Amino acid sequence: MRIEHMMRYAPLHAAGFAVMAFFGAVDAAEPELANSEICVECLQVRVGPPVVVRGPFPDELDATFTALKLANGSFRGFSANGATYAIEGASLWDMAGARQPVLQPGEPGSINDCGRWLTSIMRSDDGALGLVHQEAACNYSQGRTDKSMAIATSADEGLTWTDLGTVITGPDSPLPDRITGEGDCTMIDGLDSYLYAYCLRNSDWQTIAARAPASDPTNWHKYYEGAWSEPGLEGKATAIGFVGQGAAYLLEPGWVAVVATDPWFGGLRLSLSKDKVSFVDLKEPLVVIEGSDWERPAATGLVAYGTMLNPDNGSNAINRHFLLSYLYVPPDEGFESRYLVHHEVSLAFGDRPIPVQVGTALTRWSDPKHEIYVTSTGPLTGDRLVFRRDKTVAYMLTGAPEGVASIKVAECSSDWPGHLDHTIAEDGSCKANGYVRERTAGWLFAAEQTGSVPVYRCVNATARTHFASNAPDCEGLGSMEFLLGYGLAP
């Protein structure tokens, strides 16, 4: 985020993310790819509807969301912004409740006097182990802060913490007008007797990696020139590319998975690694975005701090069905409107490349009180939080397919007297029909394909509401206006 917004919402530690995506386009020294056996083109991904599980908040959701399943079967989630808060819920979908602080900024002059953000939590022999983002020497009005990482333990499932000390710092020193250090890390168990951290290096906005023996989580070494040889404190590190910091361990087949917000890529990018340092990218985004503007409010929404969670236990040791979680700020809104969003995601591994890999749910939502609909691939926030999921009409493509005619579809809205009318239409046609363009919904095939379903635009003239359906009779909810295109079958 830019300086003026840091001043209003200090201590928002994400200041560097405003330019991170730009530097992601710059070549960086990367290790030799050791993932030739990963057929990333053979992976099929289906991303379910976005569900808002927390928010809006002005002073939370400034880090990756992390969670722990408790001994009683409930869940404890952690949201942070300078301080870290715990939230209780019956599941990871139930994170809207009251919060209690569990980590606070340190004493003046300390390495964490600007804040402590819990970014990862996992079970350990002594209870729970946490990776904690720290900031010091901050003057957010001048764009200055210095980042580092610490390890902490908890014997009461994350309610109180014992700081074991700082374990990762950058080789640079604090400067008066910029962000320095290394931080924003998430931690995974590599199931090879080591813990791994994937971090943002602020000097060039690249991802670096470090690891520690699981038996000695205070002893970290950074990956440098082919070996885990440099000390975690002030050591050098080889950039492993702009792959992001939201890491998880995909238990089968045993890969590291990382997600990054990349507007040049068109959305949230998934990268995979077999050797934990050399990554290959899925060619299509998991979620479509049109910008990554930390200067708020902005015309496009903001998706950030993406991560992946196991819905069964809250960890980032995931299977083929997991939760994709991220911070969302709607278009034309500031950081007072921060939401936590979850999607269910399913993976399927094939033995040959497939032409279209990612499908994102085109979901019809209804407001029973007013008998109106919204059909969208994005999160419903603000006044639309009252809408309830009605049906997944189809899965839309997250990018234009190669060699196949497609239609880019936009979401449009217009306030009829008395209520909202939301519709989807071919991109470029919103304004001509008296609507305001809200966002890109995705892409549809122009002609029927194997495994596709039609997507019709429908209208209920009495209620003056548009919606989408995969049935030509619009499921009896209204009348069909026209065929928009073809999506992947739900």
- pLDDT (tens digit, 9 = 90+) per residue, 398-456? 999 999 999 999 999 997 777 899 999 999 999 999 999 999 999 999 999 999 999 99
For range 361-370, the mean pLDDT: 93
Phi-psi region of 142 (alpha: psi -120 to 50; beta: other; left: phi over 0): alpha
Neighbouring-strand partners of residue 365: 374, 389
**Choice among 22-26, 354-358, 370-374 with the minimum mean pLDDT:** 22-26
Amino acid 36: pLDDT: 55
Round to whole Å and give the CA distance between 240 and 228.
13
Amino acid 25: pLDDT: 35
3-state secondary structure of 20: helix
Task: Give every CB contact of residue 432 below 8 A, 6+ residues apart in sequence.
Answer: none
Amino acid 96: pLDDT: 98
3-state secondary structure of 432: helix
What φ, ψ does residue 370 adopt, rounded to 5°? -110, 0
What φ, ψ does residue 215 adopt, rounded to 5°? -80, -10
Residues 259, 308: contact at Cβ < 8 Å?
Answer: yes
Amino acid 418: pLDDT: 79
Q: What is the gyration radius of the CA atoms in the chain, in angstroms?
A: 22
3-state secondary structure of 484: strand
Structure tokens at 73: 């079967």
> Which of these, 389, 384, 400, 392, lies nearest to 362 by C-alpha position?
392
Q: pTM, whole model, 2 decimals?
A: 0.92
**Choice among 76-80, 174-178, 328-332 with the minimum mean pLDDT:** 174-178
Nearest 10 degrees: CA dihedral of 235, 241, 245, 246?
A: -150
First to last CA, the chain: 37
Give the number of other CB atoms < 10 A from CB of residue 354. 12
Structure tokens at 90: 């019956």
Residues 377, 288: contact at Cβ < 8 Å?
Answer: yes
Residues 151, 164: contact at Cβ < 8 Å?
Answer: yes
- Length of the chain in terms of residues written: 490
Round to whole Å and give the CA distance between 76 and 60.
15
Task: Give every CB contact of residue 373 below 8 A, 6+ residues apart in sequence.
Answer: 364, 365, 366, 367, 390, 422, 460, 465, 466, 467
Output DSSP code: residue 398: S
